């Protein structure tokens, strides 16, 4: 398993859901890599400037041991990228970590990885997930094999330990 973990980024990302996992992974000894559709400055939901480490076209799924999809409005932008969707689908197909929080489930829907899975998200996309064939539950964190999901920034203290546990089990 690679120690590189992708943390996706796009316009209007919920910055706590990007920055907390990004730095927590580093703390745990992983190489977190911010990845976006292009390498430029993005504005977060609350106005923070964030620059990715790499563009999706410059990386391959084989380099990574997992991916984290933060929420905010970024997932609505990310799910329009065929490269992002292929990356997330490849991570899932290979049994690598796929972690989604808040609206991040939109990327999972568009990548075609939620059907038959049990997960959670912000309640705002519950119908989207169930219509895509997922079983939605209202819990702070849900682990379904390699898939880790949470509802909101308030769940980050439960989300990251679950992410790190899945990564430890993949070694």
Among 77, 103, 117, 151, the active-site one is: 103
Q: Give yes or no: 103 in active site.
A: yes
- CB atoms under 10 Å from CB of 47, counted, come to 8
Backbone angles phi and psi of 59, in degrees to 5: -130, 165
N-to-C CA span, the chain: 6
Cα gap 140→132, rounded to integer Å: 21
Q: How far is CA 163 from CA 76, 120, 132, in A?
A: 23, 14, 23
| Burial group, residue 51, by CB count within 10 angstroms (0-12, 13-18, 19+) | exposed
Question: Could you tell me the sign of the dihedral formed by the alpha carbons of 34, 94, 148, 120, in that order?
Answer: positive
Residues recognised as catalytic? 103
């Amino acid at each position: 398993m690679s120690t590189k973990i992708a943390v996706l980024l796009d316009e209007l990302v919920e910055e706590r859901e990007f920055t907390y996992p990004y730095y927590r992974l580093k703390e745990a000894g992983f190489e977190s890599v911010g990845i976006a559709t292009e390498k430029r400055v993005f504005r977060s939901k609350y106005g923070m400037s964030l620059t990715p480490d790499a563009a999706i076209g410059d990386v391959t799924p084989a380099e990574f041991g997992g991916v984290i999809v933060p929420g905010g409005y970024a997932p609505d932008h990310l799910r329009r990228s065929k490269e992002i969707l292929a990356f997330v689908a490849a991570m899932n197909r290979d049994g690598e970590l796929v972690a989604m929080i808040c609206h991040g489930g939109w990327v999972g829907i568009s990548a075609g990885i939620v059907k038959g899975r049990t997960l959670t998200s912000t309640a705002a996309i519950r119908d989207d997930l169930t219509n895509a064939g997922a079983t939605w539950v209202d819990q702070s964190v849900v682990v379904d094999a390699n898939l880790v999901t949470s509802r909101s920034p308030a769940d980050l203290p439960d989300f990251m330990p679950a992410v790190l546990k899945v990564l430890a089990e993949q070694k």
